């Protein structure tokens, strides 16, 4: 029996693929390589080049590989881009989910771990944010994630046997401490990666978007979770479903946040490079503060993070970025 990882050549998907291999799973990866990197895929997996939205092809793959569960990562994820190209985001994120779930139904696959986002909460009135908080996304990216959670909920309630865990990521950063994979996309959008690129001279400066938010230093606050800790969550979520666990939506974060300025200062200190910082206007769709209440995740799945340290997150990101420059 095997598990299918859609988008398994991407940043988070490749880390989860490695975690699954480490845990002894047989892993099949489906990716169109539009943003994923083939070299980051574990050699022990079966890689299939293809589109997740191709229902007939996905159903055949599920049956041929005797897949029992799907971990779904393939999606468009850039918030500002979603604001300017909302229809593309609804097409790639929502339509693809419908096709995937119909393929799962065709193949008799009833367990799904879904890559969701804290963006489903929008700009909450209170932090840390519990799963019971209002779901009110403020950008199309967040809306597509919420719609997909609703699709999963309704499919699970239909009586067809589907069970799922939707994992609401906060800000994912860092790289595999063993150096096997990391964030490799040519067009970077995540703060930690952009900052380490500036530290390594790969970009002339780092832009900070907005310094007038209602936070202590005026910059946005985020809950940064190391990607390897997040990968471990996916293995635990899969085991939860395999053990007969019910449907869940769970926050994935550490429960404390850092401002943009905090991250910039940490990257400068860890790298030893005082790179230029440019103050830029706010970006559309950025909430002031997103910090997780992840107590439900810890208690339900027994998750204990191993890398809850901003210095460690930055150091692994720096090491990976330096390695990319040597390739």
Active site amino acids = 141
Contact 184, 11 (CB under 8 A): yes
Within 13 Å, how many C-alpha atoms sit on residue 246's CB side?
3
For residue 16, give both structure tokens.
């989860």
Render 122-170 in DSSP notation, one character per residue.
-S-SSSSBPTTS----SSHHHHHHHHHHHHHHHHHHTTS--EEEEEEE-
CB of 267 within 8 A of CB of 199?
yes
The rounded Cα 308 to chain-centroid distance in angstroms is: 17
27 phi and psi, to 5 degrees? Answer: -120, 130
- Quick one: which H or E segment has residue 80? helix 79-84
Bond preceding residue 128 cis, omega within 30 of 0? yes
Residue whose pair of structure tokens reads 């990976």 in the numeric block: 320
């Amino acid at each position: 029996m095997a598990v299918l990882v859609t988008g398994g050549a991407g940043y988070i998907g490749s880390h989860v693929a490695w975690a699954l291999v480490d845990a002894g799973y047989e892993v099949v990866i489906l990716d169109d390589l539009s943003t994923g990197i083939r070299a980051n895929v574990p050699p022990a997996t079966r890689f299939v080049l293809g589109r997740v939205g191709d229902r007939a092809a996905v159903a055949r793959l599920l049956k041929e590989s005797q897949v029992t569960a799907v971990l779904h990562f393939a999606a468009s994820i850039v918030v500002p881009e979603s604001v300017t190209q909302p229809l593309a985001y609804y097409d790639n994120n929502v339509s693809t989910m419908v096709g995937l779930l119909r393929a799962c139904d065709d193949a008799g696959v009833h367990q799904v771990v879904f890559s969701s986002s804290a963006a489903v909460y929008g700009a909450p009135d209170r932090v840390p944010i519990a799963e019971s908080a209002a779901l009110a996304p403020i950008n199309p990216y967040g809306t597509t994630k919420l719609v997909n959670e609703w699709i999963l909920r309704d499919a699970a309630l239909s009586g067809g046997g589907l069970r799922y865990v939707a994992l609401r990521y906060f800000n994912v950063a860092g790289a595999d401490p063993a150096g096997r994979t990391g964030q490799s996309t040519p067009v970077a959008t995540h703060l930690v990666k952009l900052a380490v690129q500036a530290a390594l001279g790969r970009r002339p400066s780092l832009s900070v978007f907005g310094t007038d938010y209602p936070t202590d230093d005026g910059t946005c606050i985020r809950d940064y979770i190391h990607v390897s800790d997040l990968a471990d969550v996916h293995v635990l979520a899969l085991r939860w479903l395999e053990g007969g666990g019910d449907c869940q939506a769970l926050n994935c974060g550490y429960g404390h946040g850092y401002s943009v300025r905090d991250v910039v200062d940490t990257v400068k200190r860890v790298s030893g490079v005082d790179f230029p910082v440019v103050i830029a206007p706010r970006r559309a769709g950025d909430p002031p503060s997103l910090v997780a209440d992840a107590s439900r995740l810890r208690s339900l799945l027994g998750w204990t993070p191993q890398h809850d340290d901003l210095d460690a997150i930055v150091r692994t990101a720096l090491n990976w970025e330096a390695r990319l420059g040597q390739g």
